[in-house]
Structure 1
Amino acid sequence: MKKIVIVEDDPFMREELREIFEKEGYPVVCIAEFDHVTDNIIQAAPGLVLLDINLPGISGFDICRELKRKAMLPVLVLTSRDQMKDELHALNLGADEYLTKPCRKERLLARAANLLRRYEGRSQLRPGMDFLLDSQTYTLYIHDRSVVLPPNQGRLLEAFLAHPGELMKKETLCMVLWGTTEFIDENALQVNLTRLKKTMRELTMMQQIETVRGLGYRLIAKEEKDEE
């Protein structure tokens, strides 16, 4: 079953929620430290995030905003804040469900199961730092817009996303584009890479493709590239 990540600062509530989901057979990870919480959630690779709003040092609203910017994960907000403005704010930030405490466990489990089902069909979406790539249509979702990439650019970007930060040799990229390394003009590969780099610059993406002279290419954060 899909993993559930619980972001809750109240230890009693946290353990109660853990018990509810574990009894249903879900693997559960609890977040109790709130430094770098978004990165910790993504690293846990959950199927669903259960998120409180009132947290020490950081707002659940901020976590929701950053999480939705970085990853394609369902977020169920579970909070004691029952004001309509809070619910609308969370939903506008991308939260998928909003429930108030106390909440019957049957309702909580049903909403969680529904979200997991809704996201099952989105496995073709590949996350970048600030974008999502649909690996079937090569549609890029970034900055509240969508851009359909030409097939070769889409194939290349998908390959880099599968190996972020790793060196991709020219031969590997030729296989990605043409399924062979024979009789391929290296200039053709360079043309496709140049076009993808231009697209990424124009969309001000947080990741860029770096050329490693004589070795190949890699996808890195733009800040790393700028520092060099």
Structure 2
Amino acid sequence: MTNIVIVEDDIFLREELQSILQKEGYSVVSISSFDTPVEEIIAANPALVVLDLNLPNLSGFQICRTLKEKGIGPILILTARDQLKDELHALELGADDFLTKPCHPKRLIARVQKLEQLYAKLPILLTWGAFQYDAKTHVLYVGNDSLSLSENEGIIMKLLIKHAPAVVKKEQLFAELWGSSEFVDENILQVNMTRLRKTLDKVGMSHHIKTVRGIGYQLVGSE
């Protein structure tokens, strides 16, 4: 089931959008706090983001740019701003589609389905510094070199790139790798990190993974 994240500060419209999408069988997460919206969106692991532009703290333009830099997409802009310059700017920042409010529910669903179909055929490339990771094939590109990662190595690398330069907590890694940490020995995470570092050693890039003692791991170094 596709996971859609709604980023809309109007509570009534947010609930309406959630209802429309859920009736079509989508799993929906709504962002209702806008202190750290980018982090909340990434944590929700969206397959698609419905994003307003007029938001408190960070504008939708800023959020769109940051999400695209972290390989999050597709992004469907849904906004009351109907100026051509706003649409062009959003598209320049990486937005995949642009709709103005009010929007007929059938038009919204049609655009969501179109983006789903389009992205199903595209590689999912996440980029950070010299790293470029294809989440579909588990291949990591470093400059002119490429490395085939195991599934677990790929999951770890995906999280590190998506959250970079922030720290990925151990709990997040356990949740993505094994569902939870309840019945998993913490040493197994260290084993998986060691394997990933050994893989990155082949291209001299293992030093970019930093251990934050007692908390987790992060990508460091110049982007």
TM-score norm. by structure 1 comes to 0.68
Aligned equivalent of 1:18: 18
> Structure 1 residue runs of 4+, over 2 Å off?
124-132, 134-140, 147-151, 155-174, 218-221
Note the 1:71-220 alignment, pairs <5 A: 71-122=71-122, 125=124, 127=126, 132-134=132-134, 136=137, 138=139, 140=141, 149-151=144-146, 154-155=147-148, 160-163=153-156, 164=160, 167-168=190-191, 172=195, 193=201, 195-197=203-205, 208-210=208-210, 220=218
Change over 3 Å in CA distance of 1:220–1:81 after alignment to 2: same
**Displacement, 1:74?**
0.5
**Displacement, 1:196?**
3.3
- Equivalents in 2 of 1:73, 1:22: separation in Å? 19
**Displacement, 1:71?**
2.6
Identity %: 43
Q: Tell me the matched-pair count.
A: 186
**Displacement, 1:78?**
0.2
**Displacement, 1:221?**
2.3
**Displacement, 1:161?**
4.2
User: Pairwise CA RMSD of aligned residues?
Assistant: 3.4
- 1:33 is paired with a residue whose SS is coil
- Equivalents in 1 of 2:126, 2:193: separation in Å? 23
Aligned equivalent of 1:214: none
Larger deviation, residues 84-93 vs 16-25: 16-25
Note the 1:37-52 alignment, pairs <5 A: 37-52=37-52
In structure 2, list runs of 5 or more residues that go unmatched.
161-167, 169-188
Aligned equivalent of 2:32: 32
- Equivalents in 2 of 1:47, 1:194: separation in Å? 32
- Higher CA-based Rg: 1
**Displacement, 1:104?**
1.1
Aligned partner letter, 1:70: K
Change over 3 Å in CA distance of 1:160–1:170 after alignment to 2: closer
In structure 1, list runs of 5 or more residues that go unmatched.
141-146, 178-191, 201-206, 212-217
Aligned partner letter, 1:222: V
| Contact residue 139 and residue 149 of structure 2 kept, 8 A | no
- 1:16 is paired with a residue whose SS is helix
- 1:55 is paired with a residue whose SS is coil
- Equivalents in 2 of 1:26, 1:132: separation in Å? 29
Q: Deviations over 1:40-80 (max 9, x none)?
A: 11111121100000011210000000111113321000000
Change over 3 Å in CA distance of 1:149–1:72 after alignment to 2: farther
**Displacement, 1:120?**
1.7
Change over 3 Å in CA distance of 1:35–1:137 after alignment to 2: closer
TM-score norm. by structure 2 comes to 0.70
Change over 3 Å in CA distance of 1:219–1:56 after alignment to 2: closer
| Contact residue 4 and residue 47 of structure 1 kept, 8 A | yes
- Equivalents in 2 of 1:161, 1:128: separation in Å? 13
